[in-house]
A and B are shown apart, each in its own frame.
Chain A
Amino acid sequence: MRALIRSAARLYPKAWRDRYGAEFDALLEDMSPSFGDVWDVLRNVVRARVSMPADAGLALAPVAGSSMTARLPVALSIGAHGVILTLFLVAAVGYVTPMPSHRAIAPLPPPVPEAPPQMTDARVFPEALTLYSSLPLAHTEEAELPLYVAVGVGINFFPLPDIGAVYRQGNEEWRVWPGQALESFIVRRVLPQFPRDADTRGNVSVFIEYLIRRDGSVNVLRTSGPAPFSAAARAAIGQWRYRPLEYDDQRCEIVSRVEVRFDGQFVQDGAR
C-alpha cells in the first residue's frame, strides 16, 4: 500500500515534491496506510495540480527514498482516470429508465372506415339526422348490400364516443367497437319487423349488444326493452353477417352495440 501511495505522490507538482517529498515519505513510514489513503492522495494531487503552477508535467522524478521508475505513476494515473470514467458511465447508464412496454389486452380498433353512401330514414330518427346512420329506404342499383324497408323500424348505429371500451363476460373480454365504425363491414343485414300484435302507441327503443365472431357471424349477447320488440330485434340482428375483422393480420372477435327503434305512430299512419 505504501508503494501505491508513493507512486501516487509522484504525481504532485515538482515544487511540492521538492518541498514536502521527504517528510511525506517519512510520514508514510510512520503510519499504517489504507486503500482509502491512495484515493486521498490522488484527490489532493489533483487539487495541488490545479492550485500550483505547472512543472515538468508527467516527466516525474522519484520521491526521495523510493526506487520506483517514473513510468508507473503515469500508468497509475491513466488507470485511475479509466476507473473513474467507467464508474461515471455505469452511474449514468443506471439513471436511464427504460420505457415501459405496453401490451394491449385486446386488439385496438382499426381506422374508422368511411361510411358507404346511404339514404337516412328520417321517418324513424327525425331528431338527429346527422348522428344516425339508419338503414336506407329503398333498393339502389349501386348498393352491394340487400337493402330492406320495414315500416316504422330503424337502426341506430351508435356513434364513436364509446370506442375502445372493454366488454367483459366471464373470463373473456373484448374491445367494444361502435356499430357506426363497423357499418361498412356488414355483408348481410336483416331489418327487424314491427311485432304485429304489439302496442303501436309511441316509440320503443331496444338496445342490442352482440359479438361479431371471427367468421363474421353474429351472436347476440344481451338486449334491453319490452319482450316482443327485443325478440324481434334479436331475431333480425342474429342473422347479420360481417366481413371478417382483422387486426395485425389476425382475425379477431369484436363486441358492438346498436339501437333498434320501433316507431308505432308511423305504423298507425301507414307507409308513405
Chain B
Amino acid sequence: MSDPTILILASLAEGDKHGYAIMEDIRAFAGIRLGPGTLYGAITRLEDRGWIRAVKSESRRQPYRITAEGGVELKRQTALFGQVVRIANRRMKEA
C-alpha cells in the first residue's frame, strides 16, 4: 500500500489538491512522508497515464484532480487490496 501513485489517487479522491497539500494529506492518513522527488515522479506518471489532470489555476501551486480513469484504477486497486486483506485475515485465523 506504499505505492505513491495509489496514495496520491486516494488523496485526490477527496478533492483537488496541490503538491504540498497531497504530501500533507498522505502523511495524515497513511503515516507516510513522500519526498518531493517521489511525489512529483508519481504525479508525472499519473498524468502520463491520464489518471489525474492539472486544474487551471493562476497560482504557482498547481492543483490536481483525479480523472474518471483514475477513479476506476483506484477502485480496482482497493478491491485487490481488500481481497488480499480478507484472505490474510482468514488464513491467520486458521493458523
Residues of B in contact (CB 8 Å), total 17
Q: Mark B29-40, 1 if CB is under 8 A from A, else 0.
A: 000000111111
User: Which A residues are closer than 8 A to B by beta carbons?
Assistant: 5, 16, 20, 22-28, 30-31, 33, 36-37, 40-45, 47-48
Q: Is the CB of B44 within 8 A of A27?
A: no
The 10 closest A-B CB pairs, nearest first, are A40-B35, A44-B37, A41-B37, A30-B20, A23-B62, A40-B37, A44-B41, A26-B60, A27-B19, A37-B35
Other-chain contact of A22, B36, B39, B41, B60 (Cβ < 8 Å)? B60
- B35 and A48: CB pair below 8 A? no
A-B contact pairs, 14 of them (CB 8 A): A20-B43, A22-B62, A23-B19, A24-B19, A24-B40, A26-B60, A27-B18, A27-B20, A27-B36, A30-B61, A31-B20, A36-B35, A40-B36, A41-B36
Q: How far, in angstroms, from A241 to B23 measured CA to CA in the complex? A: 92
In the complex, the answer to whether B36 meets A20 with C-beta atoms within 8 Å is no
Q: List A contacts of B43 (CB < 8 A).
A: 20
Contacts A22-B60, A23-B62 given; indicate if A5 touches B36 (C-beta within 8 A).
Answer: yes
Rounded to whole Å, the gap between the CB of B50 and the closest CB of chain A is: 15
From A25, A31, A36, contact of B60 by CB (8 A): A25
SS of A interface (majority): helix
A-B contact count (CB 8 A): 60
A241 to chain B minimum Cβ distance, whole angstroms, is: 80
Closest A-chain residue to B22, C-beta based?
Answer: A27
> How far is it, in angstroms, between the C-alpha of A28 and the C-alpha of B40 when the chains are bound?
12
> Contact: B61 with A43, CB < 8 Å?
no
* A31 with B37: CB separation less than 8 A: no
* A36 CB contacts on chain B under 8 angstroms: 35
Q: A23, B37: Cβ atoms under 8 Å? A: no
Known: A23-B62, A24-B36, A25-B60. A48 touches B41 (CB 8 A): yes
Q: Which residue of B lies closest to A40 (CB)?
A: B35
Say how far A32's CB is from chain B's closest CB, in angstroms: 11
The answer on a CB contact under 8 Å between A47 and B19 is no
Please state if A31 and B61 are interface contacts (CB–CB under 8 Å): no
A37 x B60 contact (CB < 8 A): no
**Most A CB atoms within 10 A — which of B35, B37, B41, B59?**
B37
- The reply to whether A23 and B18 form a contact with Cβ atoms under 8 Å apart is yes
Q: How many angstroms from the CA of A40 to the CA of B44 in the assembled complex?
A: 15
